[in-house]
Structure 1
Amino acid sequence: MPSLFDPIRLGSLDLPNRILMAPLTRGRSTREHVPTPIMAEYYAQRAGAGLIITEATGISQEGLGWPYAPGIWNEAQVEAWKPIVKAVHDKGGRIALQLWHMGYLVHPDFLGGQPPVSSSARTAPDEAHTYEGKKPYGEARALREDEIPRLLADYENAAKNAVAAGFDGVQIHAANGYLIDEFLRDGANKRTDRYGGSIENRVRLLTKIAQTVAGVVGPERTGIRFSPNGPIQGVDDSDPHAVFGLAAEVMARIGLAYIELREPGPNGTFGKATVAPVAPTIKKAFGGPVILNCDYDGPKAQAAVESGEADAIAFGRPYLANPDLPERIAEGAPLNKDDMKTWYSQGPEGYVDYPTLSQAKAA
């Protein structure tokens, strides 16, 4: 039986265990979206993960609408990421950068008052986090077809910068209602051109982005994240098994290293499933490693790996407060509880001050 603590190969990456750190937005960069030194300490503390997938990182200013989130589109950001990557490597860890375009979830405040872009002209539900507090979203405009080459160039630039910063790989963020998801799902995509309508058309932008990124980083160092089985941030689909099944087939043809899925159950903490799990459809269509993520604890994760339902598990919230999560899972030890008030704050509190198991025992 496979175990969470067995090694696994994802593309060209050999991982010592199957406990991955999922992307977790933390808001510790500058207002110019430049990473800060404290981030090196945070990620190095969690280097025991089989693979760290960084917090979502903007490929361009157009695509980044979260206060104090990091970017990867300019030289200052690249230089600031380098010591973070080195700190993880010095601890024996592996780290991949998640590439992010937020689509219609970018507030105009981040764009000098200009509207964000999406698959179609529409407005996100709820409110956006801005530097002045929460505000209603503005209406997005449909990304023009003649703008697609510019978008692909932004992904290419970000991928080149990730390589320059020393990352072991990248993950394309195609989940959670952000730009790629807005093109994939018919609840958001109302286009009538080559990027809308049929499932084949809606997968077209994803395909071009994956080809572009893999062409820079190498498909064997490129992964992707989907969130297929329920509405999220105003984005949903009428037939997710069909659209994500085709998306997985295309990712296999491009040769991507793995697919990570954020797929909650019917009573998920953040988001609820509205259809049967899509993961089996994706796993069959992809044929390579599939990583599941959502509301797992150690025993549930081990059961999913043993059964073959998943090849590895990505843990999100447990990694906030437990830098030594693999050790705690191995020992069946209790987990530190995270403090939601410090998820997106800018200081060390609730970021680098959670004790390891050995520190807690010594206290």
Structure 2
Amino acid sequence: MIRLVDVSKTYTLPGGVRVEALKDINLEIPRGEIFGIIGHSGAGKSTLIRLINLLERPTRGEVWVDGVEMTRLSEEELRRRRMKIGMIFQHFNLLWSRTVFGNVAFPLEIAGWPRAKARERVLELLELVGLAEHRDRYPSQLSGGQKQRVGIARALANAPDVLLSDEATSALDPNTTDAILELLKEINARFGLTIVLITHEMSVIEKVADRVAVLDHGVIQEVGEVAEVFARPRSPVTRALLREGIEGGALAAIDPNALRGPVVRLVFVGESANRPLLSALLRNFDLEVNILQGQVRRLKRGSYGVLYTEWIGREEEIARARDFLEREGVGVEVLDVRELQATPREEVNRLAVSPREPELAAHRSGHR
């Protein structure tokens, strides 16, 4: 459905400074999938999602949507193709002088829909997003969640095949975020719509996405099923995101001064979650294992469990036990809790935050 082939994007800033925002991106997103792209500010997420509908043109590489190479289209062909790619935004981008009805009708007016047909379509969409009774209100009279529902209805107006979500929940409170994510899941299931969402929040990815790509400094660090990426993160950036986000509370609750051995993060997913592996560990190895914190995370597809444990024993016995669990399909990671608790933000910044984001934002706004 969506395919990016060797895509790179370079900006030339004032003074001739060149910044490579994306580097050799190769990505495939099948039809009907909810695909998440996660990373910190400056990772290149917004640039990447805007390449799909060519609001940003790649410096090099190919962008394919539904079998069509987008960079080769004429302006008129591109305009027609963009009608089949809806987009929702962090700050809603509504027309404040228009009512809810008028905002949703706007793309249909541009597309030349007959008035009666457009009215029928708008009412159908307002019913879908739960705003039928607010049709005559103005954006200033709506809550943040209601504004985003208007944005979603507007994005769906021309019956798109793809929906792009640019940090669409980051300005909302947790309960409203959950409601919007449930709406996106319903839309995906009902219409088979391909949804690409970018976010800096792991909790958003775990609740709604089928697969995820982790982006940092313009480079894809890893791609995979959400459960696999969360359970067995391969890149330092993914591990930093997990610790900063959905697993941060568990780490913060561990008292490093009370530890007598290393802290080991164990992740159980799939078949490993259904076997008594901890009891086997205690029977077969000369170790004392203390459970420090534990949690079960619910994903769109299944769940995974995380245990933070303390292992007390000889180094060679710890190494043997680790090998045993890894052979059984358990994710095993030895952590330095003192280091992680002492400088979590600085470490995340070192790994995953680029200084270019404000410069690029200013550059974009000055060239529109």
Give the TM-score category using the shorter length. 0.3 to 0.5
Higher helix residue share? 2
TM-score, length-normalised on structure 2? Answer: 0.36
The structure with more strand, counted as a fraction of residues: 2
Q: Which has the larger radius of gyration?
A: 2
